[in-house]
């Protein structure tokens, strides 16, 4: 992976963490009134250009090594799904990654949870060329 891609991925991971903290704080407040719901919807920042792809993993959390997972999402204006990356260390979280459908408006990929993975949280990233996205995969093995 290129150095610029690693920097982008690191920024995406930090953004995902910050957005997750903001969502957790918003859910603790009373959002039952119409004004609060409108404020919560407009308060969410739009991701920066280059980080607009959306990705989900199912099942999440995973519960056993070697389990097959499905990666879905959209490219947020990007060209098409080009790559799925599981983890940022020398030991990958995912193996046997296969892009089933690279449609930018709704992609699908499959992968297998690595046999060496333990309990924890790791990033799953997608690259759609000019847009990237990240989500966190929780493992309880």
pLDDT tens for the 141 residues of the chain, in order: 455 555 555 565 555 544 444 444 433 444 455 555 555 556 678 788 999 999 999 999 998 899 999 999 999 999 999 999 998 778 889 999 999 999 999 999 999 999 988 899 999 999 999 999 999 999 988
Please state whether 38 falls in left (phi above 0), alpha (psi between -120 and 50) or beta.
alpha
- What's this model's pTM, rounded to 2 decimal places? 0.70
Compute the distance between CA of residue 57 and CA of residue 110 in angstroms, rounded to an integer. 9
Cis-peptide into 59, omega within 30 deg: yes
**The domain spanning residue 15 has which CATH number?**
2.60.40.10
Can you tell me whether residue 40 is helix, strand or coil?
helix
Work out how many domains the chain is built from and give that number.
1
Residue 26, domain extent: 3-139
Are 122 and 115 contacting, i.e. CB atoms less than 8 angstroms apart?
A: no
Q: Sign of the C-alpha dihedral, residues 56, 21, 128, 46?
A: positive
């Amino acid at each position: 992976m290129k150095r610029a891609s690693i920097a982008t991925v690191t920024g995406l991971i930090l953004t995902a963490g910050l957005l997750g903290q903001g969502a957790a704080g918003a859910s603790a407040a009373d959002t039952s009134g119409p004004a609060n719901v409108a404020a919560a919807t407009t308060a969410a920042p739009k991701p920066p250009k280059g980080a607009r792809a959306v990705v989900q993993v199912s099942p999440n959390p995973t519960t056993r090594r070697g389990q097959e997972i499905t990666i879905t999402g959209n490219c947020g204006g990007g060209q098409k799904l080009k790559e799925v990356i599981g983890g940022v260390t020398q030991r990958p979280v995912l193996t046997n990654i296969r892009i089933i459908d690279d449609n930018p408006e709704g992609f699908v990929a499959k992968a297998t949870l690595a046999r060496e993975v333990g309990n924890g949280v790791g990033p799953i990233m997608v690259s759609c060329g000019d847009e990237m996205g990240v989500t966190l995969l929780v493992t309880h093995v």
